[in-house]
């Protein structure tokens, strides 16, 4: 599962996202983490927690994404130039991923 963290408004780095929508970065540059050539995400909620606190659940939201483009990773975080926000992770599933259940 690929998980992307957001603020409470489903924004990340000043960009507004919406569940069910695809996002693509059209740049003629190689993909590079920590740059504007990729959308960032992780492969576990624990890794996302490094960037968006799972403890401040009222301030942060988490979504499963589908990777539709090229993917790069450094082993901790991932990036792709084309993603789709599949669904928001909430309730019991979020608690399970947080290790509370």
Give me the pLDDT at residue 70, please: 95
List the structure tokens of 43.
């492969």
Average pLDDT of span 39-47:
90
Q: Is the pLDDT of residue 9 over 60?
A: yes
Query: How many Cα atoms sit within 13 Å of 49 on the Cβ side?
Result: 12
Q: Is the pLDDT of residue 52 over 70?
A: no
List the structure tokens of 31.
């993909």
8 A C-beta contact, residue 77 and residue 47 = yes
Give the list of residues 6+ apart from residue 41 with CB closer than 8 angstroms, or none. 2, 3, 4, 5, 48, 65, 77, 78, 79, 80, 83
Dihedrals φ, ψ of 21, to 5°? Answer: -110, 145
List the structure tokens of 22.
């695809």
List the structure tokens of 76.
């901790």
């Amino acid at each position: 599962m690929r998980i992307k963290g957001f603020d409470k408004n489903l924004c990340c780095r000043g960009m507004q996202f919406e569940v069910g929508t695809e996002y693509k970065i059209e740049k003629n540059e190689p993909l590079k983490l920590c740059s504007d050539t990729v959308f960032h995400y992780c492969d576990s909620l624990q890794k996302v927690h490094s960037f968006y606190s799972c403890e401040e659940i009222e301030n942060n939201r988490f979504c499963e994404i589908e990777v539709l483009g090229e993917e790069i990773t450094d082993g901790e975080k991932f990036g792709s130039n084309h993603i789709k926000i599949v669904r928001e992770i909430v309730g019991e599933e979020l608690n399970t991923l947080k290790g509370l259940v």
